[in-house]
Structure 1
Amino acid sequence: MEPTLLQIHGKDISVKTQAIARLTEGQKALCMFRVLYDHAKGSVSEYYQWISYLLDRPDYWSGVTGGLRFFDDLAMLGLLEETTEVLAARNCRLGVQWGDATFKDLERDRELLNAASVLFERFLDIAPNSLKRISTYIRSNPRQFVTIEDGD
């Protein structure tokens, strides 16, 4: 997975789409989980901004949720659904779009900061179980994730 993640990091959507299309179903699910987790785990601001970014890109969002479904990660799916509802209600109330989200929103909106902080803490609580679920699946299905080539 690391070569693919390095290949798509910071690239345009067509490069990312081509690289991801070459992955197995399990590799795609893992890649999309990493797209979520690696960007959202750092802080409440990163969680808020990254979820909004992904929701602004329906193909990415469906890839993330599809990956979680692949691993049967109902807890993380439920949290993302709840996060979507909270953020969508705020966006509707303020008349803003997903793409309008900025880190400064949390500084300006105490209610948003409180809600996002609770959701982020739950994300941090759920993520270790997600990682364990994924690693167990990979160990049980290594051929979906690793290709061993003969050096001869």
Structure 2
Amino acid sequence: MEIKLSRKIFNSLEDSQLVRACFDPLIPLIRGKSNKVKEEVYNQLTTEQKKLFIFNAFYNHACNSLAEFYWWSAFYLVQPKIWSELKSALRHFKTDEMLGILLEMEKVTKAQNNPIELEKFDVSYNDLYHNPELYSFVSPLFKKFVDVTQTTLNLIGKAIRNNPTAFILFEE
């Protein structure tokens, strides 16, 4: 999909800002839309854009709070294709610390005997606050998630900078 950006803006952005600049144009195309529309948009993306998309779709929700980090991790996990794509994207961008955190979340979530099918998904944001043991596992993982965010965004930004035409089209 053609996401246009001027060279001047591209060169002026910090790596973490570049991640947003390459993803933000997609938001109006998917926000509030049906899953069918979202899938159509996703299918128009290049392989690299898909990796960026799946990371941002998760990150932009999970970063808001401990409860959202837990809920979105569990929600992605019951969708094996999406969870696999997220882990693949993190491997591709060489964001090993972030990948490690999500692998730990995978273990924690599975240990809770949460539903493994989307149709039976009943995880609540409040589950953390009603289960002290769960809270004690997830809370430090969320702290790590927050702590490695800037490094992760910088690594992804560097990947974009090293191969810009896989993500954007320069407007002249």
TM more than 0.5: yes
CA distance in 1, matches of 2:35, 2:136: 33
Aligned identity (percent) is: 36
- Using the TM superposition, give the Cα deviation of residue 89 of structure 1 relative to its aligned residue in structure 2, in angstroms: 0.8
3-state SS of paired residue (1:148): strand
Residue of structure 2 in register with 1:3 after alignment: 25
Which residue does the alignment assign to 2:104? Answer: 82
**Alpha carbons of 1:11 and 1:60: their partners in 2 closer, same or farther (altered >3 Å)?**
farther
Alpha-carbon separation, structure 2, partners of 1:62 and 1:16 = 18
2:48 aligned with 1:26: yes
CA distance in 2, matches of 1:10, 1:54: 18
Match of 1:38 in 2: 60
Aligned CA RMSD, in angstroms, stands at: 1.5
Distance 2:47 2:123 in 1: 31
Q: Counterpart of 1:106 in structure 2: which amino acid?
A: L
Q: Which amino acid aligns with 1:39?
A: H
TM-score by length of 1: 0.88
Q: How far did 1:39 drift?
A: 0.4
- Alignment partner of 1:53 is 2:75: yes
Asked whether the 8 Å contact 1:106–1:113 carries over to 2, the reply is: yes
| Whole-angstrom CA distance in 1 between matches of 2:30 and 2:85 | 15
Structure 1 segments of 4+ aligned residues over 6 angstroms from their partners? none
Who is 2:11 aligned against?
A: none
Normalising by structure 2, report the TM-score. 0.79
Pairing 1:65–2:83 present? no
Mapped partners of 1:75, 1:114: distance in 2: 20
Which whole-Å CA distance do the structure 1 matches of 2:84 and 2:127 have between them? 25
2:84 and 2:34 map into 1 onto residues whose CA distance is: 18
Does 2:119 correspond to 1:97? Answer: no
Structure 1 residue 149, shift from structure 2 partner: 4.4
Is 1:13 matched up with 2:13?
A: no
Contact 1:45 1:106 in 2 (8 A): yes
SS at match of 1:129: helix
Q: Structure 2: where are the runs of 5+ without partners?
A: 1-22
| Number of equivalences | 146
* 2:134 is the alignment partner of 1:109: no
